[in-house]
Amino acid sequence: MGILDFLTGEFIDVIHWTDDTRDTMVWRFEREDHEIKYGAKLTVREGQAAVFVHEGQLADVFTPGLYMLETNNMPILTTLNHWDHGFKSPFKSEIYYVDTTRFNDLKWGTKNPIMLRDPEFGPTRIRAFGTYSVRVTDPGKFLTEIVGTDGEFTMDEISFQIRNVIVQAFSRIIAGAGIPVLDMAANTAELGKLVAREISAVVGEYGLSIPEFYIENISLPPAVEAALDKRTSMGIVGNLDNYMKFNAAEAMGTEGSAMAASMGAGMGAGMGMAMAQQSGPWGAAPAQPAAVAPPPPPPAEHVWHIAESGVTRGPFSKAAMGRMAAAGELTRETHVWTAGQDGWKTADEVAELAQLFTILPPPPPGA
């Protein structure tokens, strides 16, 4: 073995690529004049593919594995150069590494509202957003259709185009689906499958696939959401007449409490002035007795509301509640509410009503 053969063996090319950027889809192996030695070792790791381009033409594509670059494993390149099996000279080719793993958590969203006809609301607008993932399935097609001669191609360079494809497909499908807006949240999985199926046919022409596609949210304009909230509130209120009575009773209770407090404060001030006049300075004539203040008004009587089977009744006075308790229409377990009370309570939990069930009539005459 001569010294020349020894040096030739020592300087065999080793071609490989490792990447930690997480967004590089294609990387070109750089070599001066693109000269590759015959017999060089090509390493293609899992999740990669190596594409040879010779004089502007797509040549061989290598899947994961370790290769010795010789005529027996480069059939297309051998045909393009008319090599024979005795070929040993270096050759000029460009080598592009393509990342075939999934690029996850990519965002999509509708830039402008989508117009559609809702069966219940009529013409309306919606917005939507979500996530998707992309994977290179045909490295050769992806290189020729999208990358070209770019030495380092990243996901950002194609994500905008994919988002446009997604929004166009989503707009067409959602407008023709005929699903009511209120039912779309329950059908996002089915809508996502329809959109993924349509966009897969388009991005497949780029050598890509969409392994995952998710619709995270479908929303209405703020004005429509506000109107929908009002409609929901009306549904919760139920009987509008009872609701108005309830508001009026609550207002009366609040105003009565405020009036009683104001009158109490006035009486206190009057009594203080009378005492000051009676205890004047020494030697002064005693002050004339002050006029007797009128008695305070009786406390405002509570009025009660009753809840049965999801329906409210009332308001009822305490006397009416007593008659209902005597007739068996009001029991200890009946839920009641009055102004100032913290939520609904059973009748036996309210001291003012619990006594209605403890007062028994005396024995009848002649018993």
Q: Which of 180, 198, 232 is the last residue of a domain?
A: 232
To 5 degrees, how large is the angle CA 81–CA 82–CA 88? Answer: 75
Q: Is residue 295 part of a domain?
A: no
Number of H helices, E strands in the chain: 9, 19
The answer, yes or no, to whether residue 302 has pLDDT greater than 50, is yes
Domain count, the chain: 3
pLDDT-based confidence at residue 330 (cuts at 50, 70, 90): confident
Q: Are 245 and 184 in the same domain?
A: no
Token duo for residue 274 = 């009378």
Q: Is residue 266 part of a domain?
A: no
Q: Is residue 171 part of a domain?
A: yes
Residue 283: what pLDDT?
46
Give me the residues paired with residue 123 across strands.
117
Q: Is residue 283 part of a domain?
A: no
pLDDT (tens digit per residue) in 153-195: 999 999 999 999 999 999 999 888 888 888 888 888 888 999 9
Q: Which of 65, 99, 133 is the last residue of a domain?
A: 99
Burial grade of 177 (CB within 10 A; 0-12, 13-18, 19 or more): middle
Q: Are 127 and 209 in the same domain?
A: yes
Q: Are 88 and 117 in the same domain?
A: no
The answer, yes or no, to whether residue 80 has pLDDT greater than 50, is yes
Q: How far apart are alpha carbons 213 and 195 in whole angstroms? A: 8
Map tokens 């068996």 to a residue: 328
Q: Are 161 and 95 in the same domain?
A: no
Q: Is residue 27 part of a domain?
A: yes
Q: What is the mean pLDDT of residues 218-228?
A: 81
Q: Quick one: which of 319, 317, 313 has its CA closest to 303?
A: 317
Q: Which domain holds residue 51?
A: 3-99
Q: Quick one: which of 103, 91, 93, 195 has its CA closest to 142?
A: 103
Q: Is residue 85 part of a domain?
A: yes
Q: Are 84 and 138 in the same domain?
A: no
CATH number of the domain bearing residue 151: 3.30.479.30
Q: Is residue 40 part of a domain?
A: yes
Q: Are 205 and 319 in the same domain?
A: no
CATH number of the domain bearing residue 336: 3.30.1490
Q: Are 167 and 216 in the same domain?
A: yes
Map tokens 């460009």 to a residue: 94
To 5 degrees, how large is the angle CA 100–CA 102–CA 106? Answer: 135
- According to the 3-state scheme, what is the secondary structure of 88-124? CCCEECEEEEEECCCEEEEEEECCCCEEEEECCCEEE
Q: Are 162 and 246 in the same domain?
A: no
The answer to whether 97 and 49 have CB atoms below 8 angstroms apart is yes
Q: Are 94 and 123 in the same domain?
A: no
Q: How far apart are alpha carbons 237 and 103 in whole angstroms? A: 49
pLDDT (tens digit per residue) in 87-132: 566 777 888 999 999 999 999 999 888 888 888 888 888 999 999 9
178: alpha, beta or left? (left if phi > 0; alpha if psi -120 to 50): left
The answer, yes or no, to whether residue 357 has pLDDT greater than 80, is no
CA distances, 82 to each of 37, 71, 75, 162, 198 (Å)? 17, 10, 10, 40, 43
- What SS3 state is found at 19? coil
Residue 9: what pLDDT?
41
Q: What is the mean pLDDT of residues 254-274?
A: 60
Q: What CA dihedral angle connects 244, 245, 247 and 249, to 10 degrees?
A: 160
pTM: 0.56
Give me the residues paired with residue 27 across strands.
97, 152
Q: How far apart are alpha carbons 294 and 270 in whole angstroms? A: 11
Residue 162: what pLDDT?
93
Residue 74: what pLDDT?
76
Residue 364: what pLDDT?
66
Q: Are 83 and 178 in the same domain?
A: no
Q: Is residue 187 part of a domain?
A: yes
Token duo for residue 109 = 């969203």
